[in-house]
Amino acid sequence: MTIDFSKYPDEHGHFGPYGGVFAPETLMAALEQLKNEYKLVKNDPAFLKELAEDLQNYVGRPTPLYYAKRWSEHLGGGKIYLKREDLNHTGAHKVNNTIGQALLAKRLGKKRIIAETGAGQHGVASATVAARLGLECVVYMGADDVIRQAPNVARMRMLGATVVPVESGTKTLKDALNEAMRDWVTNVDDTFYIIGTVAGPHPYPAMVRDFQAIIGRETKQQALQHENKLPDVLIACVGGGSNAIGLFHEFLKDDSVEMYGVEPAGLGLDTGQHAAPLCKGKPGVFHGNRTYLMQDKNGQILGTHSISAGLDYPGVGPEHAWLKDIGRVNYVAVDDEEALQGFRDLTRFEGIIPALESSHALAYATKLAPTLSKDTMIVVNLSGRGDKDMNTIAQIEGIEF
Amino acid sequence: MSRLHTKLAALKAAGKTALIPYITAGDPSPKATVALMHLLVEKGADVIELGVPFSDPMADGPVIQKAVERALIHNVSLDDVLEYVRVFREQDTETPVVLMGYLNPIEAQGYEAFANAASSVGVDAVLTVDMPPEESKGYLEALQQASLDRIFLVSPTTPDNRLSAVNEKGSGFVYYVSLKGVTGSKELDVEDVARNMKRLQQSLSMPMGIGFGIKDGATAFEMAKIGDAVIVGSALVKLIEANQSKGSYDIHLAIGNKMTEFRTALDKADALKGQE
């Protein structure tokens, strides 16, 4: 392949036909300002130094690349390594991005940050950086997610954030994003919107990717240390797709590395009750960018279903849409049941309780690993830990608190 | 000359401010829309803005969000909206109709197919909230081919350097979003609108409509003094919500009264302007 991946997106945020800036007029100036400011800082040594120090001393990076020996041997096939993003401060990869965007907010002199959240991990990561910088923080969260991710709601409130349950539409992540947009349109002068994934209008998909790309850069070095080679296979779950892009991006140019993005098949890809736009959707425009969407024939956005709130979203980052079309990344899906089994397996074989989002990537590894030779190196992005999912799991497993 | 252009030019020549009411198509039910459109004209509408329901109206406040939800209970689609316009045109060939909505339903039809269908039923212009001039190449070409006017939004935050694109690519009128916020929100700052309008009018060569947050006759009066058209949406849609359980007679009565309030305010402002 001769694509120079570092040249994407173009100046206007396009990844081939995807991405772009499809935003209400009131936000256009703010997006332009953000684009210009980000262009300034992304090669600014002082900014990058501050970011690197925060990631090391506050977040706890680098995160380990851990060989899951017992689980790999049980599956009998490739060697599975876990990139331990669950060990980051606040428990997921989300903080890599909020640290970066919060530094930008500070530079732009914004006093207030807003965020949308599904599982609550991005909300917690936003509330955390807001507390640290002394900024006001408002987090929008679908009313259904407020219930199923209660522990994270409590954490956000303890950190001083205002959590606003969103009662409109399907009461999940997409509706939280709508409401955050409405807030931003209203308070654009003093407010910085920290989008949590690689979607939204340009420059968000590129900027969030760049902040998350440290996952892949570390993985590359660590793979060389462990196995003296590049990984053969990368696996990550895809909702909006930030942890997946974070792992994949560094390796896009390495043709030998195979990549799998795992979407949530919910109750099954043929039931309509899923959140897998890359596997089952078609392109459209939503939340500021052109990408694959779950939509009906009239262009209305469909409700989604996934056991994991963080993947319960009808769209996906535009770079993934493009990587699908050019065939660089394989997009597959696993259902709720398979994800739950992935959750149980990692917990029992390795003593690591994963997030339900990450469990989708683990579930795909359980399918793929046995088909591969013993010297195949597989890296699964363990994007978050499962503390927040205790209510959901306990209910399913009949465990009482 | 398009029907919209002709209408606005005639009003301007007569020293009149255009009244442009908005309703969401299919709210509170599909059969209500055409009758409501005729009522709006009877009560003084110069142009009708017809909202195309979209599942995720991210630039709209709670009032229009709920209107969209009421319409979507009946699965009102873009095709249905075009059908309402076709039926409306059986009796009214004079009043320009502007479709207002979000991009994805148009994407799903395809720009060309949509533009041709809209034009053939008698739609005059299209305003797409999440389609800024920067992304609009294929969309504009399709609308232009079908002789539909292209309306863009301009807001208090729009910098001067973006106005030339609006001038070049837009047609019909420019929709000035009078406040930072969603439809139907907070109080308008009249002085702020006046100041911004002055800045915009220097760069824009089209009629200027003012919308968002115009709740009553008093505000409409102030806006008529500074703009060429006054656009009212949430103030009317709210009355559909309030009267939906009582039926169409009460809805028509309430909307008719509110329209009269707006029309009277605009006529008063026009009379004052005439004396200057």
* Min Cα–Cα distance to chain B from A182, Å: 6
pLDDT in the model for residue B188:
82
Examine the pLDDT at B271 and tell me if it is beyond 80. yes
Q: Average pLDDT, stretch B220-226?
A: 96
Length of chain A counted residue by residue? 401
pLDDT digits (tens, 9 = 90+) for A5-17: 999 999 999 999 9
> Measured between beta carbons, which residues in chain A are less than 8 angstroms from residue B65?
168
Q: How far apart are CA A395 and CA B143, in angstroms?
A: 54
Q: Average pLDDT, stretch B1-9?
A: 93
What ipTM does the predicted assembly reach? 0.95
Q: Do B78 and A298 touch (CB under 8 A)?
A: yes
pLDDT in the model for residue B10:
97
pLDDT digits (tens, 9 = 90+) for A251-294: 999 999 999 999 999 999 999 999 999 999 999 999 999 999 99
Mutate which: B52, B56, B60, B99, vs A, most A CBs within 10 A = B56
pLDDT in the model for residue B275:
83
Size of interface A-B (CB pairs under 8 A): 114
pLDDT digits (tens, 9 = 90+) for B48-85: 999 999 999 999 999 999 999 999 999 999 999 999 99
Q: Average pLDDT, stretch A95-101?
A: 98
Query: Helix crossing, B248-275 with B217-226: angle to 10°?
Result: 40
Q: Average pLDDT, stretch A19-31?
A: 94
pLDDT in the model for residue A237:
98
A262: number of Cβ within 10 Å? 34
Q: How does residue A401 score in pLDDT terms, banded at 50, 70 and 90? A: confident
> Measured between beta carbons, which residues in chain A are less than 8 angstroms from residue B152?
25
Render B61-107 in DSSP notation, one character per residue. Answer: -HHHHHHHHHHHHTT--HHHHHHHHHHHHHH-SSS-EEEEE-HHHHH
pLDDT in the model for residue A224:
98
Helix (H) or strand (E) holding B208: strand B208-211
Three-class SS of residue A88? coil
Chain A residues within 8 angstroms (CB to CB) of chain B: 12, 20-30, 32, 168-169, 174-175, 177-178, 181-182, 185-189, 283-288, 290, 293, 295, 297-301
- Give the mean pLDDT of chain A: 96
pLDDT digits (tens, 9 = 90+) for A367-397: 999 999 999 999 999 999 999 999 889 999 9
As a whole-number percent, the residues of chain B with pLDDT over 90 amount to 91
Q: Distances from the Cα of A137 to the Cαs of A110, A128, A156, A193, B166, in angstroms?
A: 11, 9, 9, 10, 35
Helix (H) or strand (E) holding A260: strand A258-266
Using the structure block, give the residue that is written with the tokens 């009482």. Answer: A400
B120: number of Cβ within 10 Å? 12
pLDDT in the model for residue B273:
86
Q: Average pLDDT, stretch A119-135?
A: 96
pLDDT digits (tens, 9 = 90+) for B130-141: 999 999 999 999
Residue B132 in contact with partner chain A when CB distance is under 8 A: yes
pLDDT in the model for residue A248:
98
> Measured between beta carbons, which residues in chain B are less than 8 angstroms from residue A189?
180
Under 8 Å between Cβ of B172 and B2: yes
Under 8 Å between Cβ of B232 and B211: yes
Q: Average pLDDT, stretch A101-109?
A: 94
The token pair at A190 is 């003093």
Query: Among the listed ranges A10-14, A228-232, B39-43, B179-183, which one has the minimum average pLDDT value?
Result: B179-183
Q: How far apart are CA A330 and CA A100, in angstroms?
A: 29
Q: Average pLDDT, stretch A193-216?
A: 98
Residues 6+ apart with CB under 8 A from A71: A80, A345, A346, A349, A350
> Measured between beta carbons, which residues in chain B are less than 8 angstroms from residue A26?
59, 155-157, 177, 180-181
Q: How does residue A1 score in pLDDT terms, banded at 50, 70 and 90? A: low
pTM of the complete model: 0.96
